[in-house]
Amino acid sequence: ETGVTQTPRHLVMGMTNKKSLKCEQHLGHNAMYWYKQSAKKPLELMFVYNFKEQTENNSVPSRFSPECPNSSHLFLHLHTLQPEDSALYLCASSQEGPGIPFNYGYTFGSGTRLTVV
C-alpha cells in the first residue's frame, strides 16, 4: 500500500455508461493528479489539483470530468467514452506550495484499468 488508494482496480463500461473513478490519499499531500497511461505512449497528465482547486487541464475531452471535494479525495467522472479511452488511469499526489521545494516526486496509486466496449 503506497498511501494512495484507487478504486475500482478494473472497470469495463459501455460507451453510453456513466461511471466514476476514485482516488484517496492518506499522506497529507495538497496536490493530486490524474494521469492516463496507454501502451507505447508517455504518461499523459490530465488534471492537476492544488488545495482542491484545479490548476491544470491538459486539453482533456469533456467526457472526462474531475472532482476534488477535499485535499484527500479525487474523482474522475466518465461518460460517453470511446474505445480509445481504454487505458490505465493513475492517480498521484505530492506536497507542493510556496517555499516547499519540489524534490520528493509523486506517490502513485495502483491505477484503474479501464476498458471501454
Partner 1 sequence: AQSVTQLDSQVPVFEEAPVELRCNYSSSVSVYLFWYVQYPNQGLQLLLKYLSGSTLVESINGFEAEFNKSQTSFHLRKPSVHISDTAEYFCAVSGNFGNEKLTFGTGTRLTIIP
Which residues of the chain form contacts with partner 1 (CB under 8 A)? 2, 4, 6, 40-43, 45, 48, 50, 56, 90, 92, 96-111
Q: Which is nearer to partner 1, 16 or 101 (CB)?
A: 101
**CA neighbor of 89 nearest in space, from 2, 11, 1, 3:** 11
Q: At its nearest, how many Å lie between partner 1 and the CB of residue 34?
A: 12
Q: At its nearest, how many Å lie between partner 1 and the CB of residue 80?
A: 27
Chain position carrying cell 472497470: 11
**CA neighbor of 80 nearest in space, from 34, 14, 12, 10:** 14
